[in-house]
């Protein structure tokens, strides 16, 4: 007889938010994972509450703003918060030897360098989008850009809910990076984020971005390759956050036997 599988202990940051709830619900339904900690910001009205109360059950961890208490029993943290919060969480993860799955977006280059430094000591999986379908789309974009490298103008259009604070989305930026790399360019040199007034003709080497914010849109991304007499559009639409949660759990499982290193969803899905 084989021994029973010991569930991986997972903590969630941003526990009272919409994504936090989706993550904790997915963890609670997974036989190989257990919710071991729930973190929220100081001053949150959810502090001190049972983290699984929203599911109509009791016995989950208490939501806390004390990072060391919330991470004390965790093997991995899943974090969809804000850059400053994620970096504070990572510092404690490194101290306690807790691995991290980061879905937070909006990091600048200096903050990304801090994450890479932490990843020299703990295993970190970071991606602007955990959705499996989105990451398959990234692979398709790489192939499309290589094949449509002449005579096609490239525009990236993204739409999210009214509460999203960064623009363009981290996913849209990642799509731009994938396309630019496939074309042998640096996105910093060819991205166009705004157009207004008399802009002149479009630079054929540029990659344009357009941002929509409104309502409760979970996340829509379209990449347009506009040629002469034709348009090719590659689109992904998210109707719920369930796909992000399930991708995050796959990432947590991927980190189980890794001690350190910085990984992406292409590593998790074997798309490299």
Domain boundaries, the chain: 8-126+241-269, 132-238
The band of 199, judged by pLDDT with boundaries at 50, 70 and 90, is very high
Residue 226 has pLDDT above 80, yes or no: yes
| pLDDT for residue 241 | 85
Which of 259, 255, 254 minimizes the C-alpha distance to 269?
254
Q: Can you name the CATH fold of 132-238?
A: Dihydrodipicolinate Reductase; domain 2 (3.30.360)
- Residue 247's pLDDT band, with cuts at 50, 70 and 90, is very high
Looking at every residue in the chain, the average pLDDT score rounds to 95
Residue 103 is predicted with a pLDDT of: 94
Tokens linked to 182: 């496939």
Q: Is pLDDT at 271 greater than 60 in this prediction? A: yes
**pLDDT band of 3, cuts 50, 70, 90:** low
Q: Which of 160, 174, 221, 236 is catalytic?
A: 160
CA-to-CA distance for 105 and 173, rounded, in angstroms? 10
Q: Is 164 a catalytic residue?
A: yes
pLDDT at 128 over 90: no
At the fourth CATH level, the homologous superfamily of domain 8-126+241-269 is NAD(P)-binding Rossmann-like Domain (3.40.50.720)
Burial 144-178, CB ≥16 within 10 A → b, else e: bbeebeeebbbbbbbbbeeebeebbbbbbbbbbbb
Active site residue 160: yes
Average pLDDT over residues 254-263: 97
């Amino acid at each position: 007889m084989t021994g029973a599988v010991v569930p991986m202990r997972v903590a969630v940051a941003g526990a009272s938010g919409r994504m936090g709830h989706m993550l904790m619900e997915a963890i609670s339904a997974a036989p190989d994972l257990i919710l071991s900690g729930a973190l929220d910001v100081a001053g949150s009205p959810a502090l001190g509450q049972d983290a699984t109360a929203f599911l109509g059950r009791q016995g989950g961890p208490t939501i806390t703003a004390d990072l060391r208490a919330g991470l004390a029993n965790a093997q991995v943290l899943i974090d969809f918060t804000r850059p400053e919060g994620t970096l504070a969480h990572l510092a404690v993860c490194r101290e306690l030897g807790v691995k991290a799955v980061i879905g937070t977006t909006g990091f600048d280059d200096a903050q990304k360098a801090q994450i890479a430094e932490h990843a020299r000591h703990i295993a970190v999986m970071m991606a602007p989008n955990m959705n499996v379908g989105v990451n398959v789309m990234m692979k398709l974009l790489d192939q499309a850009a290589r094949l449509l490298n002449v005579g096609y103008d490239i525009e990236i259009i993204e739409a999210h809910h009214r509460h999203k604070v960064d623009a363009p989305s981290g996913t849209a930026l990642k799509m731009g990076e994938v396309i630019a790399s496939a074309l042998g360019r640096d996105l910093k040199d060819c991205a166009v984020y705004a157009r207004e007034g008399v802009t002149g003709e479009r630079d054929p080497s540029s990659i344009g971005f357009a941002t929509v914010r409104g309502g409760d849109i979970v996340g829509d991304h379209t990449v347009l390759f506009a040629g002469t007499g034709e348009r090719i559009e590659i689109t992904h639409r998210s109707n719920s956050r369930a796909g992000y949660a399930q991708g995050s759990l796959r990432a947590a499982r991927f980190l189980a036997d890794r001690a350190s290193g910085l990984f992406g969803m292409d590593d998790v899905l074997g798309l490299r």
